[in-house]
């Protein structure tokens, strides 16, 4: 199964957040995109095991979004 994980930038809190409808309980945040992806790599298998998913090789589709406002001079 291909598990989908969504990442988004929270400009007010200055953190990346991760969530997934496919991985129950996956809610993480980090100030660094790379650090957040690393945390997902460790958390996803543990959460799936806790939710009764049998041991298998995981395939994750990680999508990130970041919106910025720019002031024209």
**Is residue 43, in this structure, part of any structural domain at all?**
yes
What are the φ/ψ torsions at residue 12 (nearest 5 degrees)?
Answer: -70, -40
Q: What is the pTM (predicted TM-score) of this model?
A: 0.85
Residue of 55 and 20 predicted with greater confidence: 20
Report the CATH number that the domain containing residue 50 is assigned in CATH.
3.30.2390.10
**Is residue 50, in this structure, part of any structural domain at all?**
yes
Handedness of CA 7, 12, 13, 14 (dihedral sign): positive
The region that residue 25 occupies, defined by phi over 0 for left and psi between -120 and 50 for alpha, beta otherwise, is left
**Is residue 73, in this structure, part of any structural domain at all?**
no
Strand order across the beta sheet in which 27-30 lies? 27-30, 15-19, 2-10, 59-65
- 31-62: pLDDT as tens digits: 999 999 999 999 999 999 999 998 778 899 99
Supply the range of the domain harboring residue 7.
2-65
**Is residue 72, in this structure, part of any structural domain at all?**
no
Total domain count, the chain: 1
């Amino acid at each position: 199964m291909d598990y989908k994980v969504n990442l988004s930038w929270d400009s007010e809190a200055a953190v990346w957040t991760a969530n997934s409808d496919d991985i129950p309980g996956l809610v993480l945040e980090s100030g660094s995109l790379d650090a957040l992806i690393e945390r997902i790599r460790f958390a996803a298998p543990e959460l799936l095991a806790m939710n009764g998913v049998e041991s298998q090789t995981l395939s994750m589709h990680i999508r990130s979004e970041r919106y910025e406002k720019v002031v024209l001079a």
